[in-house]
């Protein structure tokens, strides 16, 4: 629930840093500044101007730190309320002391995401944009970041608005008729209503279609390198890992060996799962490698089924072939620098195939392209217009809207009373409003904003 009191939090990460920022939002922000911040010279703070001064405890006159402060008066601020930001030195204890001072002089501690929630509740941004703020902060690849920024700028909201437009138009026709039933609704209107709803359905399908891609860009995909011993799995892994620039920034809290296997393929975060490390000349260890490979096959989004093209396809290859059948896989014919023995079984001839040499690097770019294009269709990831749904919440709401529109069309064509068919249109609008936040229940909002960090 929106309380109009004044909130405050540390907005920079906890720890030692050059600068620490305490943010205050609400009607008391200016008063807080007047109590604890003394700038050089006389007079109060002008809006949107940076001032140099001191943070002082008014109770005992103690100078806590030198600082810069800026007051942003409503509505020209992040929350559309009066916002005060204090920049002090970024010491763990020091920033806390500044915050405590702020809390003693008119503010209460902000809840996670409360600043952004206020920006949403005050109508500066919609819910999709608010959610994007978190994605922007968490984005780990260029593509995930671009996607989040487009959503924050409102590109996705505009696509949802266009879906709504067709429904609002149709509802307007129907409501006009219900209000003035004596003016017979004429055929062109019926057709117009139907086509507007159909167009909204097409737009919903396009959005739903993009859901997989949005999710893939945010969360990445897992790719298993599978193949019998000695086909070149480790060599391929190393080739894919070799380019330092391809390695994704490390994520705190995850273990090192997993991070080393996350590569960035044209902006797509790819976790390479591999059992190549478990491999030796001793037979039983090789067996173990095979067993692990077979075990992991069902867990991966994609399997790179590596075969040694310079040797005949044998029973061990066959074992893996059977295990990958029915799954998404790319057949990787390795060792193209050696004379090839082309004897692939019938079942593999139509497979998505890339020929490479892990040793020379030949074909590796084709393999990257093949991996990328399996998951990402069409639009370049950093293209200006690229937007996609990325959250289950969005997908579920759109699916509900779709069902209502389909049910509307069926009832409308069957000549059901307009009072009733109009309900489906209103429900569809309600479902779409949940995506952008107009009709989202409070408990869902609580859930969404509780995933934010404090100070955002």
DSSP three-state, residue 300: coil
Among the candidate windows 168-176, 223-231, 252-260, 296-304, which touches ligand GDP by CB under 6 A?
223-231
From 8, 70, 231, 397, residue interacting with ligand GDP (rule: CB under 6 A): 231
Could you give the string, one character per residue 177-216, with x where binding to ligand GDP holds by CB under 6 A and - elsewhere?
----------------------------------------
DSSP three-state, residue 80: coil
From 232, 267, 437, 455, residue interacting with ligand GDP (rule: CB under 6 A): 232
In angstroms, the CA 130 to CA 125 distance is 6
Least distance from C-beta 336 to ligand GDP, angstroms? Answer: 7
Considering the rule CB under 6 A, would residue 230 count as an interface residue with ligand GDP?
yes
* Count of all residues that appear for the chain in the document: 456
Considering the rule CB under 6 A, would residue 355 count as an interface residue with ligand GDP?
no
Q: Tell which positions 287-346 bind ligand GDP, by CB under 6 A.
A: 334-335, 337-338
Least distance from C-beta 244 to ligand GDP, angstroms? Answer: 20
Closest to ligand GDP by CB, 140 vs 279, is 279
User: What beta strand segments (E) does 91-199 contain?
Assistant: 108-109
Considering the rule CB under 6 A, would residue 358 count as an interface residue with ligand GDP?
yes
In angstroms, the CA 199 to CA 195 distance is 6
Considering the rule CB under 6 A, would residue 359 count as an interface residue with ligand GDP?
yes
Closest to ligand GDP by CB, 85 vs 317, is 317
CA-to-CA separations, 277 to 232, 235, 263, 434, in angstroms, rounded: 12, 11, 17, 48
Considering the rule CB under 6 A, would residue 373 count as an interface residue with ligand GDP?
no
The footprint of ligand GDP on this chain (CB under 6 A) covers a number of residues equal to 17
In angstroms, the CA 364 to CA 131 distance is 37
> What is the strand order of the sheet 108-109 is part of?
37-39, 50-56, 63-72, 83-90, 17-25, 7-10, 108-109
Closest to ligand GDP by CB, 12 vs 234, is 234
In angstroms, the CA 150 to CA 1 distance is 28
Closest to ligand GDP by CB, 8 vs 306, is 306
Closest to ligand GDP by CB, 124 vs 311, is 311
Among the candidate windows 75-83, 177-185, 233-241, 420-428, which touches ligand GDP by CB under 6 A?
233-241
Closest to ligand GDP by CB, 176 vs 285, is 285
In angstroms, the CA 378 to CA 52 distance is 51
Considering the rule CB under 6 A, would residue 234 count as an interface residue with ligand GDP?
yes
Tokens of 436: 């952008």
Among the candidate windows 121-129, 222-230, 255-263, 397-405, which touches ligand GDP by CB under 6 A?
222-230
In angstroms, the CA 201 to CA 206 distance is 9
Listing DSSP states for 309-367 in one string gives TTS---HHHHHHHHHHTTS-EEEEEE-TTSPP-----HHHHTS-EEE--TTT-TTHHHH
Closest to ligand GDP by CB, 104 vs 279, is 279
Residues of this chain that bind ligand GDP (CB under 6 A): 227, 229-235, 276, 279, 334-335, 337-338, 357-359
């Amino acid at each position: 629930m929106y309380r109009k009191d004044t909130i405050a939090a540390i907005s920079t990460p906890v720890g030692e840093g050059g600068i620490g920022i305490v943010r205050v939002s609400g009607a008391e922000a200016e008063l807080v500044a007047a109590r604890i911040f003394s700038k050089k010279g006389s007079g109060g703070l002008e809006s949107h101007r940076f001032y140099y001064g001191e943070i002082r405890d008014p109770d005992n006159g103690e100078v806590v730190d030198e600082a810069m402060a800026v007051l942003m008066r409503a509505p020209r601020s992040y929350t559309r309320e009066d916002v005060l930001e204090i920049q002090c030195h970024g010491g763990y204890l020091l920033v806390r002391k500044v915050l405590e001072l702020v809390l003693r002089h008119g503010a209460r501690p902000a809840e996670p995401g409360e600043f952004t929630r206020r920006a949403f509740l005050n109508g500066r941004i919609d819910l999709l944009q608010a959610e994007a703020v978190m994605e922007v902060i968490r984005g780990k690849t260029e593509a995930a970041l671009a996607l989040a920024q487009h959503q924050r700028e409102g590109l996705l909201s505009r696509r949802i608005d266009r879906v709504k437009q067709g429904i609002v138009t149709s509802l307007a026709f129907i409501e006009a008729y219900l209000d003035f039933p004596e003016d017979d609704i004429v055929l062109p209107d019926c057709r117009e209503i139907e086509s507007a709803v159909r167009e909204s359905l097409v737009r919903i399908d396009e959005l739903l279609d993009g859901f997989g891609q949005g999710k893939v860009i945010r969360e990445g995909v897992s790719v298993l390198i599978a193949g019998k011993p000695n086909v070149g799995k480790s060599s391929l892994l190393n080739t894919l890992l070799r380019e330092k620039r391809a390695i994704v920034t490390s994520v705190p809290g995850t273990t090192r060996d997993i991070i080393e296997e996350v590569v960035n393929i044209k902006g797509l975060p790819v976790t390479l799962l591999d059992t190549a490390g478990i491999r030796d000349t001793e037979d039983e260890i090789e067996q173990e490698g095979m067993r692990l490979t077979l075990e992991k096959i069902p867990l991966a989004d994609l399997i790179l089924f590596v075969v040694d093209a310079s040797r005949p396809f044998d029973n061990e290859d066959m074992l893996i072939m059977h295990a990958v059948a029915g799954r998404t896989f790319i057949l990787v014919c390795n060792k193209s620098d050696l004379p090839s023995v082309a004897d692939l079984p019938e079942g593999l001839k139509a497979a998505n195939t890339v020929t490479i040499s892990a040793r020379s690097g030949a074909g590796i770019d084709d393999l990257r392209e093949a991996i990328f294009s399996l998951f990402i269709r069409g639009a370049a990831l950093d293209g200006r217009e690229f937007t996609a749904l990325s959250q289950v919440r969005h997908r579920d709401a759109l699916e509900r809207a779709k069902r209502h529109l389909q049910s509307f069309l069926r009832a409308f064509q069957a000549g059901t009373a307009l009072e009733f068919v109009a309900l489906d249109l209103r429900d569809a609008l309600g479902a779409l409003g949940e995506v952008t936040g107009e009709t989202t229940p409070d408990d869902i909002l609580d859930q969404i904003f509780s995933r934010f960090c404090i100070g955002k």
